[in-house]
Amino acid sequence: MGEIVSCSLEDGVAVVRIDNPPVNAMDRGVRAGLDKVFTELKARKDINAIVLGCAGRTFVAGADIKEFDTGIAEPGFHKVLRLIEDSPVPVVAAVHGTALGAGTELAMSCHYRVVDKNGRFGLPELSLGIIPGAGGTQRLPRLVPVERALDIILAGKPVGAEAAREIGLADAVVEGDVVKGAVDFARDLIAKGAGPRRTREQPVKGTENTEALFPQKRAEVAKKMRNRQSPLVLIETFERTCKLPFDEGLKIESEQSSKLEKATESRALRHLFFAEREVRKIPGIGAEVKPRPIAKVGIVGAGTMGGGIAMSFANIGVPVTVLDVKQDFLDTGFSRMRKNYERSVSRGSLKAEQADQRMGLITPTLNEKDLGDADLIIEAVFENMALKKDIFRKLGKVAKDGAILGTNTSTLDIDEIGAVTGRPQDIVGLHFFSPAHVMPLLEIVQTKATSPQVLTTALEVAKQIRKVGVVSKVSYGFIGNRMMDPYAREAEHCLLEGATPEQVDGALEDFGMAMGILAVFDMAGVEVGPSTRRERKHLLPNDPGFYRCSDLLTERGWLGQKTGRGYYRYDNPGHKRMSDPEANEMFWEEGKRLGVERRNPSRKEIQERCFFSMINEGALLLEEGVALRAGDIDVVYASGYGFPRYRGGPMFYADTVGLKVIHDRLLEFKSILDPQYWTPAPLLAKLAAEGSTFAEWDKSRGA
Ligand code: 3H9
């Protein structure tokens, strides 16, 4: 293996190269290498300029996120960046791929920046609950005006090469070999006699009118980034430092950033960062199992779900054939897809020709034989076992050998469906979330027969269509919906006990959920729950209050947004939810009739009942092996159910509350509420007794 940081000389220009795959994270090794090379270069008299670039697919993509757990080792970022900035000859960064976090900070400590035309600069630290801690809050506003600098970090979105040049973050945009472009740029500097241009020596830009700016940004953050600490600390850091000399500002940045690194918000977000990558690793399936190539996809069912799935593939350039039984259904489905694309065009996120291109990749058919050349066929028809079996029986006949057969079922037994295909090893559950072209989660359901290669391919497909794929075993509701059930049951029951939908949803939204569950039911259609429950009546608990309010609403035809009333009233077309005193009265009367105690549960009680029962179910899923890791459950909830990322997912959140606290509270609820629901899961009881955590449990199993 070559050196992590190497240096070569090209006629008076030193080319320093970082080579630390996969993403050139600026770990201790990189810092030590830069320290050594730049110290040596400082002493040389035969060098007129230095170019700093990276091998591989990207410039430095940030600090090594793992290092925050152990503490940053020596040499630290400030020392190394200062050394580079102090260079007596000009230093030119050659940026390709995405300079992220410490990568952008490294580039800003160089005197000039040359960027590949597809290169980008980003400071995504807030997505990890921290602020730029290697001088980013101090150097960026010395290159671009304060307000713009703050917006770049608040948004966390990378800035493209041209935009970076326009705002003064980059000096030149080049095509082709970026290091060569940077060497040419350096030679120009030498010819012009231009020396180092140290960012830290520039004045902060745009400091006029900052008095109004910071309160305004604080108000925006309070609205858009509710309950978050790091964005407020970022604004405070800018406010306190924008009129201070560089070194004083840097000291404040350091204090603030090390405070944030230790806070729960950052630990939670870092946990999710790694958990989202860990989900791809399946115990027992090694790198020798290669995914099957997926060049063509078939979809059965042109409904909302089938259409969304088709779009997900067309969006990455994969041709899709969509099958349905009637031309009408195909027409409706295709016009829905076209409308979705048109909406993206009118919002400016897609060009009209791209929309046409994507629609051009989707072909309708009424003939199942047209799915014969697909590498992957996904069924997305409504939930009915007989219908699905019929479809899979036919697919077993028409699909080519080695084609993967996926079902989008959210409730049915996939082993049973797979059995009729004659090739159960090729079947896998692919549970998309609606709207499928938007939602980032894909539950991948492994049956008893699913082959390792099929599972690996499903995980690869998820990555290609830019979704996070999480493996679940077959179980009613898989991971996500199974844990949703107790959560929603408690939310619903609180209505019988005297709470209003606003109080219940308000408590859940205050916790950080994207939307309260009752509002979600109103959006999805209140009748959906009662209709799926009818299918499995024999399995329901003996509890007359079980989802009673949704049954009542359904009986009255108050089905949510589409009928203008459900748990709430709606003023179409704005869908603004409003209190419905008549519905509330109906819930309370029903509670009285059923003899439910009118507890008027507090905000805290609503939150504890909903989230602790959800966590308890999560512990059962782990014990049963339905979910592989607590981290997998967290990924499901953060990416598919609007669980606040800054709490790390339900299982991480449980660890932060303390499993003993949750265990004891479950027992308290058992003594005052319906006892059938509140027995702590054995795994939760065990970990609570040991003073352990779900994270430790994951670790003990090598996850
Ligand atoms: C920062 O810089 C703070 C500073 O202000 C200084 C403070 C003092 N560290 O995502 P992928 C691993 S904060 C450690 O699958 P892609 C990743 O876990 C940092 N590991 O690839 C995975 O490992 P494995 C700011 C990292 O092509 C492998 O690399 N920077 C890091 O889909 C491949 O990753 C960020 O927030 C890291 N920084 O996406 C950027 N980055 O194979 C974070 C990646 O074992 N990174 N790994 O599972 C990303 O956003 C994406 O990885 C990137 C590539 C877009 C770069």
Q: What is the pLDDT of residues 43-79, one digit of tens each?
A: 999 999 999 999 999 999 999 999 999 999 999 999 9
| Mean per-residue pLDDT of the chain | 96
Q: What is the pLDDT of residues 455-494, one digit of tens each?
A: 999 999 999 999 999 999 999 999 999 999 999 999 999 9
For residues 407 and 454, what is the distance between their CA atoms, to the nearest angstrom? 13
Q: What is the pLDDT of residues 165-210, one digit of tens each?
A: 999 999 999 999 999 999 999 999 999 999 999 999 999 999 987 8
Closest to 146 measured CA to CA, from 224, 235, 222, 82: 235
Q: How many CB atoms lie within 10 A of CB 183?
A: 22
pLDDT band for position 573 (cuts 50, 70, 90)? low
Closest to 467 measured CA to CA, from 428, 445, 440, 492: 440
Q: Of the residues 65, 78, 120, which should be mutated to test ligand 1's pocket, given the most ligand atoms within 8 Å of the CB?
A: 65
What dihedral angle (degrees, nearest 10) is formed by the CA atoms of 114, 163, 440, 56?
-10
Closest to 325 measured CA to CA, from 394, 426, 374: 394
For residues 317 and 465, what is the distance between their CA atoms, to the nearest angstrom? 10
**Residue 562 burial (C-beta neighbours within 10 Å; 0-12, 13-18, 19+):** middle
For the CA of 127, the nearest atom of ligand 1 = 36
For the CA of 101, the nearest atom of ligand 1 = 2
For the CA of 277, the nearest atom of ligand 1 = 48
Beta bridge partners of 431: 443
Closest to 373 measured CA to CA, from 449, 439, 319: 319
Residue with tokens 């006892």: 675
Q: What is the mean pLDDT of residues 596-609?
A: 97
| pLDDT value at 1 more than 60 | no
Q: What is the pLDDT of residues 100-127, one digit of tens each?
A: 999 999 999 999 999 999 999 999 999 9
Residue with tokens 């609403």: 553
* Catalytic residue list contains 125: yes
> What's the gap in Å between 25 CA and the centre of ligand 1?
7
| pLDDT value at 145 more than 90 | yes
pTM of the model: 0.94
| pLDDT value at 383 more than 90 | no
> What's the gap in Å between 657 CA and the centre of ligand 1?
28
pLDDT band for position 535 (cuts 50, 70, 90)? confident
* Catalytic residue list contains 597: no
pLDDT band for position 703 (cuts 50, 70, 90)? low
Beta bridge partners of 441: 468
| pLDDT value at 538 more than 90 | no
Q: What is the pLDDT of residues 258-268, one digit of tens each?
A: 999 999 999 99
Closest to 76 measured CA to CA, from 119, 118, 30, 109: 30
| pLDDT value at 575 more than 80 | no
Minimum CA distance residue for ligand 1 atom 19 = 62
Q: Write down the pLDDT at residue 65.
A: 97
For residues 512 and 17, what is the distance between their CA atoms, to the nearest angstrom? 44
Question: Residues 85, 125, 276, 379: which is the catalytic one?
Answer: 125
Go through the chain and tell me how many residues it has.
Answer: 703
Q: What is the mean pLDDT of residues 569-574?
A: 79
Q: Of the residues 23, 261, 271, 282, which should be mutated to test ligand 1's pocket, given the most ligand atoms within 8 Å of the CB?
A: 23
Q: Which residues line ligand 1 (CB under 6 A)?
A: 22-23, 25, 61-66, 72, 77, 98, 100-102, 105, 124-125, 128, 132-134, 136, 277
Q: What is the mean pLDDT of residues 274-298?
A: 95
